[in-house]
Structure 1
Amino acid sequence: MITLHIENTIADYDAWKAAFDRYDRARRDHHVLAYRISRPVDDPATVHIDLDFDTREDATTFAQVLEKIWQTPLSAAVSSTHAAPELRTLEEATA
């Protein structure tokens, strides 16, 4: 399994989550199998999002979609910085 791990600094969680939810169809259309949202207990202005994919190709394609989304006015409105979110591609480790 491949996971896109995103770390983002946000201005308001409720506004950010509403914006995130608007892209549910895009996640489905780009083969996101599941996602998790978490927040550090001592930093409510940060969100971590993990998006799971079957293949690296699907993850890479969706990362390109995210880059375009992050340039939209809606994305800028819910971000508390002008920097793009941090994005990492992770591969599940085997024992």
Structure 2
Amino acid sequence: MTIAHILHRVADYDAWRKVYDSVGDMQKDGGVTQESVHRMVDDPDNLLVIHHFDTMESARAFFGRSDLRDAMERGGVQGEPRVELFE
């Protein structure tokens, strides 16, 4: 199993959440088996997203998808997200 921690800031959590919730099928197609979203206590537009994958290869492929990048842009992700992969 591979676990991905994605850290990023968004312009507006509610707007980002609508986009995030709309791409559930893309996540499933990309190999995400579990997901969760966490907001920083003192900065609720600073997020930690956790995705689980069966393999490292599926995780790497998922984060290379252009439709994921498009969704992040639509959701108002600011700057480059920090993606950490763990086995």
Ranges of 4+ aligned residues in structure 1 off by more than 6 Å: none
Equivalent residue for 1:3? 3
Equivalent residue for 1:27? 27
Equivalent residue for 2:82? 86
Deviation sequence 1:21-55 (CA, Å, 0-9, x none): 12111111122110010011111120110100111
The 8 Å contact of residues 10 and 75 in structure 2, kept in 1 or not, is answered as no
Quick one: distance in 2 between partners of 1:52 and 1:4?
A: 6
How much is the aligned-residue C-alpha RMSD, in angstroms? Answer: 1.7
Equivalent residue for 1:52? 52
Quick one: distance in 1 between partners of 2:31 and 2:75?
A: 27
Equivalent residue for 2:41? 41
Report % sequence identity: 29
What is the SS of the residue equivalent to 1:33? strand
Which segments of 5 or more consecutive residues in structure 2 lack a partner in the other structure?
none
Which segments of 5 or more consecutive residues in structure 1 lack a partner in the other structure?
none
| Greater gyration radius | 1
TM-superposed deviation, 1:75: 1.5
Would the alpha carbon gap of residues 52 and 76 (structure 1) be closer, same or farther in structure 2, given more than 3 Å must change? same
TM-superposed deviation, 1:63: 1.2
Name whichever structure is richer in strand by fraction. 2
What's the TM-score, normalizing by structure 1? 0.80
What's the TM-score, normalizing by structure 2? 0.87
